[in-house]
Chains A and B, each alone.
Chain A
Amino acid sequence: MNGLLLLIPIALSLGLLGLGAFFWSIKGGQFDDLDGAALRILVEDESDARSLLP
């Protein structure tokens, strides 16, 4: 029983954490352009490229 009193709040708060993260990512627009996100990995970041130059 004592284990339950500790574990259940932990389990619930972990779940809530995930839910909160999901809400946050929706609000931040992370799901607005799903196809674009897949392609952006291929995009050379210009500012990075410039800083690499001597």
Chain B
Amino acid sequence: MNVMTRLAPEAALIERDFAVPDIRCAGCISKLEQGLVRDARIRSARVNFTEKRVHLAHTADAEMPDLLGAFTSLGFEAHPIGEGPKDVDGEAATSKELVRAVAVSGFAMMNIMLLSVSVWSGATGVTRDLFHWLSALIALPTIAYAGRPFFRSAWRALKHGHTNMDVPISIGVTLATALSLYETATHGAHAYFDSAVMLLFFLLCGRWLDSVMRDRARGGVTALLRNMGTGAMVVGADGSTHWTDATALQPGMVMLVAAGERLAADGVIVQGSTRIDLSLLTGESAPQDAALDDLVHAGTLNIEAPVRVRVTAAGTDTAIADIARLMGEASQGKSRYVRIADRAARLYAPAVHGLAITAFAGWMVAGAGWHKALLIAVAVLIITCPCALGLAVPAAQIVAAGALMKRGVLIKDGSALERMAEIDRALIDKTGTLTLGRPVASNLGEIAAKYRPVLLALAQMSRHPLSAALTRDLTAQGVHAAAIDEVKETPGFGVAARWQGRPVTLGRPQGADAGSELASELSIDGQSVALVRFADALRPDAVQAIASLRAEGVDAMILSGDRTAAVAPVARTLGLTAMTGLSPQDKLAAIARSSGAGHKVLMIGDGLNDGPALAAGHASMAPGSASDVGKNASDCIFMGDRLMPVVDTIRMARRTQAIVRQNFALAIGYNVIAVPLAFAGLVTPLVAAIAMSGSSLIVVGNALRLKGALK
């Protein structure tokens, strides 16, 4: 009873997940778990290190900014993960179901094999019958439980009038089990329970590997989805503010958007003026001024001063929704892609069925009697069952995905690797893809060393994007911040403070340099002493990466929404042709033209405006800094500032495809030897067991060679 009363008030707790990308060590785990609960409103915190998430249970009065603030005070950046995609949980459930099926079939396989070994080593009479019955006792429930994924998929395929890899598997397993039962009941010598269960075990391993790969990438992707489930501070009628989720925003509400915050809905500015970074929406790299009554769009970044925005459209009504619709149409082409294993199955399944029927008919004609003929037909079915084939593709792909993950590339699923191997043309967005997509201080070298510590000290005090860039670049140079006090930040201007008794400011340039260019000015005693210019720099290895792409036989081209004047210098440096000023529709059309000319297009982009193009490309990649739309639409995501992972991925994909082909060749070679044996009636359960496990081991071993392929 005691426990009950203590638990009762806890029922009102809200549970939320946060993505915290910076969890790196054991120290972070303890810091977060023990630090977060010091806030009385947070009742419990649990870190999932693998997925870089924190699960919080907090009381209802803790608002989102408070929770994010709790993370910030511990030195971590957290992003709320929305309730969002329900299908994600569905997939995790399939993966768990597969693990259980693998465990059950593995347990059954080992026990049946133990019994079978005694039969093969000469058990006869009652002992053999007993062992066969025991095997049946273990095998029947196992097949009913662990075989469900195959039976379901085979039934679905048959219902739609086509066949897949699961049809011969289901028929083979069912026939083998039925015949073994008959054999057992009539005191026969050969029962194939072990083969049937072993077949399921190996195939389930393949399925499970496939799902593990998807899960792993999904974990990484959800950790990256930062804008999902966000919202805005909404100003109520009485002037109070409260946090509202993006899904609950309604037209007419007034949002308070701080500098450095992304807009959660379309709206009109009703108070204040600022500059808005549109790069994710249009690809335009220079920020735009936005003043009273100007229309601003969801997904854009407010970079200068806090503004109040009256919501005009939220959720599915925003300008983004238009892009989403385009994406939906564009992605249909990709879903028509048939995976290599299924293509193989289209040829393989009829061949297997044909062989089994021929064996049955042949032995019937030869006068062997239906029982013997059926036994041989079942042996043919079991021996040809695509055991190695089922493992050939997933084993190679999971090893490749693991190796790529170490290089900072997340592959969403196996079919992405297959499509990536086929590409021969790359269309690349400029802002945020070829360039870093964030301002980098370009003239730090010209600034006198004595001013750098005070620059860093001032920059650290502000959350303005330019200050953040300055902090990052100066810290990277090993500069230590000077001691300053009386710090005051003025929105729309900058930071003012006192350094060695003298007033210092860091802010918007005055006078001649007060142009559209990104710059910020350091003044001491009201005198300008240094001007820091910012530019969106090329990724450090862009030139090298483009050259490597060419060496791989992939010709590249820039596809940008930005102005020609902004794209030209990049295009010149990299020696690429460029199309500029493109709308999302134009990008789609450019891809369609390339595809129409017989090219397999790899689209690399990051912005919302690239979403439809990413969905339409034969394969697509996005950098980790991309918009959610970009990350969701693309097949692979690469982390960090380097562009080289793109080339690594293409190389690895091609290597994987080569290994998969070798694996198919191995599997076919094995069949060439085994099928005549089965036809001759020489395949006993013992031979089948050896052949199956042997071929599977060879295929997995071959796949493991991919591990060192990138070294």
Write the residues of chain A forming the contact surface with B, with a CB cutoff of 8 angstroms.
Answer: 1, 4, 8, 11-12, 15-16, 18-19, 22-23, 26, 32-36, 39-44, 46
6 contacts between A and B (CB under 8 A): A15-B110, A15-B111, A19-B104, A19-B107, A26-B100, A43-B33
- In angstroms, Cα B134 to Cα A40, docked, is 44
Say whether, besides A11-B111, A12-B111, A18-B107, A39 and B99 are in contact (CB < 8 Å).
Answer: no
Set B29, B99, B104, B110: member contacting A36, Cβ < 8 A:
B29
Determine how close the nearest CB of chain A comes to the CB of B428; give it in whole angstroms. 34
Contact B103 A22 (CB under 8 A): yes
Contact B26 A32 (CB under 8 A): no
Set A4, A8, A36: member contacting B49, Cβ < 8 A:
A36
Q: Does B34 contact A (CB under 8 A)?
A: yes
Determine how close the nearest CB of chain A comes to the CB of B691; give it in whole angstroms. 26
- In angstroms, Cα B96 to Cα A43, docked, is 29
Q: Closest 5 interchain pairs by CB? A: A36-B49, A42-B26, A39-B26, A43-B30, A33-B48
Q: Does B51 contact A (CB under 8 A)?
A: yes
Of chain B, the residue at the smallest CB distance from A12 is B111
Determine the chain B residues whose CB is within 8 A of the CB of A40 once the complex forms: 26, 29
The residues in B between 101 and 137 inclusive whose CB is less than 8 angstroms from any CB of A are: 103-104, 107, 110-111, 114, 127, 130, 134
Contact B107 A39 (CB under 8 A): no
Determine the chain B residues whose CB is within 8 A of the CB of A39 once the complex forms: 25-26, 29, 49
A23-B100, A26-B96, A41-B26 known; 13 new pairs, CB 8 Å cut-off, are A4-B127, A11-B114, A15-B107, A19-B107, A23-B103, A32-B50, A33-B48, A35-B49, A36-B48, A36-B49, A40-B26, A42-B26, A43-B30
Determine how close the nearest CB of chain A comes to the CB of B34; give it in whole angstroms. 5
Contact A33 B100 (CB under 8 A): no
Determine the chain A residues whose CB is within 8 A of the CB of B100 once the complex forms: 23, 26
Q: Does B47 contact A (CB under 8 A)?
A: yes
Contact B107 A33 (CB under 8 A): no
- In angstroms, Cα B111 to Cα A8, docked, is 10
Determine the chain A residues whose CB is within 8 A of the CB of B110 once the complex forms: 15
Determine the chain B residues whose CB is within 8 A of the CB of A18 once the complex forms: 107
Determine how close the nearest CB of chain A comes to the CB of B400; give it in whole angstroms. 20
Of chain A, the residue at the smallest CB distance from B106 is A19
Determine the chain B residues whose CB is within 8 A of the CB of A19 once the complex forms: 103-104, 107
Of chain A, the residue at the smallest CB distance from B126 is A1
- In angstroms, Cα B422 to Cα A37, docked, is 39
Of chain A, the residue at the smallest CB distance from B99 is A26
Contact B48 A32 (CB under 8 A): yes
Say whether, besides A15-B111, A26-B96, A43-B30, A36 and B50 are in contact (CB < 8 Å).
Answer: yes
Interface size class of B (residues with CB under 8 A): 20 to 34
Most chain A Cβ neighbours within 10 Å, of B49, B114, B127: B49
Determine the chain A residues whose CB is within 8 A of the CB of B114 once the complex forms: 11
B660-682: contact bitstring with A at CB < 8 Å (1 yes, 0 no)? Answer: 00000000000000000000000
Most chain A Cβ neighbours within 10 Å, of B30, B33, B130: B30
- In angstroms, Cα B103 to Cα A27, docked, is 13
- In angstroms, Cα B584 to Cα A54, docked, is 67
- In angstroms, Cα B33 to Cα A41, docked, is 14
Determine the chain A residues whose CB is within 8 A of the CB of B25 once the complex forms: 39
Contact A34 B50 (CB under 8 A): yes
Determine the chain A residues whose CB is within 8 A of the CB of B49 once the complex forms: 33, 35-36, 39
- In angstroms, Cα B33 to Cα A34, docked, is 17
Of chain B, the residue at the smallest CB distance from A32 is B48
Most chain A Cβ neighbours within 10 Å, of B25, B26, B103, B130: B26
- In angstroms, Cα B111 to Cα A16, docked, is 10
Determine how close the nearest CB of chain A comes to the CB of B454; give it in whole angstroms. 39
- In angstroms, Cα B26 to Cα A36, docked, is 8
Set B29, B48, B111: member contacting A43, Cβ < 8 A:
B29
Of chain B, the residue at the smallest CB distance from A47 is B34
Determine how close the nearest CB of chain B comes to the CB of A45; give it in whole angstroms. 9
Determine how close the nearest CB of chain B comes to the CB of A14; give it in whole angstroms. 10
Determine the chain A residues whose CB is within 8 A of the CB of B34 once the complex forms: 46
Determine the chain A residues whose CB is within 8 A of the CB of B111 once the complex forms: 11-12, 15
Say whether, besides A15-B111, A19-B107, A36-B49, A43 and B134 are in contact (CB < 8 Å).
Answer: no
Determine how close the nearest CB of chain A comes to the CB of B118; give it in whole angstroms. 9
Of chain A, the residue at the smallest CB distance from B92 is A32
Of chain B, the residue at the smallest CB distance from A45 is B30
Contact A33 B26 (CB under 8 A): no
Of chain A, the residue at the smallest CB distance from B37 is A46
Contact A36 B103 (CB under 8 A): no
Determine the chain A residues whose CB is within 8 A of the CB of B96 once the complex forms: 26
Determine the chain B residues whose CB is within 8 A of the CB of A33 once the complex forms: 47-51
Determine the chain B residues whose CB is within 8 A of the CB of A12 once the complex forms: 111, 138
The residues in B between 346 and 362 inclusive whose CB is less than 8 angstroms from any CB of A are: none
B48-80: contact bitstring with A at CB < 8 Å (1 yes, 0 no)? Answer: 111100000000000000000000000000000
Of chain A, the residue at the smallest CB distance from B53 is A33
Set A16, A35, A41: member contacting B50, Cβ < 8 A:
A35
The residues in B between 1 and 37 inclusive whose CB is less than 8 angstroms from any CB of A are: 25-26, 29-30, 33-34
Say whether, besides A12-B111, A15-B110, A33-B48, A43 and B127 are in contact (CB < 8 Å).
Answer: no
- In angstroms, Cα B491 to Cα A39, docked, is 43
- In angstroms, Cα B470 to Cα A33, docked, is 36
- In angstroms, Cα B128 to Cα A1, docked, is 12
B481-493: contact bitstring with A at CB < 8 Å (1 yes, 0 no)? Answer: 0000000000000
- In angstroms, Cα B141 to Cα A19, docked, is 14
Contact B26 A43 (CB under 8 A): yes
Determine how close the nearest CB of chain A comes to the CB of B565; give it in whole angstroms. 47
- In angstroms, Cα B123 to Cα A4, docked, is 13
Determine how close the nearest CB of chain B comes to the CB of A18; give it in whole angstroms. 7
Most chain B Cβ neighbours within 10 Å, of A16, A40, A43, A46: A43
Determine how close the nearest CB of chain B comes to the CB of A47; give it in whole angstroms. 9
Determine how close the nearest CB of chain B comes to the CB of A41; give it in whole angstroms. 8
- In angstroms, Cα B196 to Cα A23, docked, is 23
Of chain A, the residue at the smallest CB distance from B48 is A33
Determine the chain A residues whose CB is within 8 A of the CB of B33 once the complex forms: 43
Determine the chain B residues whose CB is within 8 A of the CB of A43 once the complex forms: 26, 29-30, 33
Determine the chain B residues whose CB is within 8 A of the CB of A34 once the complex forms: 50
- In angstroms, Cα B47 to Cα A6, docked, is 47
B227-246: contact bitstring with A at CB < 8 Å (1 yes, 0 no)? Answer: 00000000000000000000
Determine the chain A residues whose CB is within 8 A of the CB of B107 once the complex forms: 15-16, 18-19
- In angstroms, Cα B29 to Cα A41, docked, is 11
Determine the chain A residues whose CB is within 8 A of the CB of B138 once the complex forms: 12
Determine the chain B residues whose CB is within 8 A of the CB of A11 once the complex forms: 111, 114
- In angstroms, Cα B129 to Cα A4, docked, is 13
Determine the chain A residues whose CB is within 8 A of the CB of B30 once the complex forms: 43-44, 46
Determine how close the nearest CB of chain B comes to the CB of A44; give it in whole angstroms. 6
Determine how close the nearest CB of chain A comes to the CB of B378; give it in whole angstroms. 27
- In angstroms, Cα B224 to Cα A48, docked, is 35
Determine how close the nearest CB of chain B comes to the CB of A16; give it in whole angstroms. 8
Determine the chain A residues whose CB is within 8 A of the CB of B103 once the complex forms: 19, 22-23
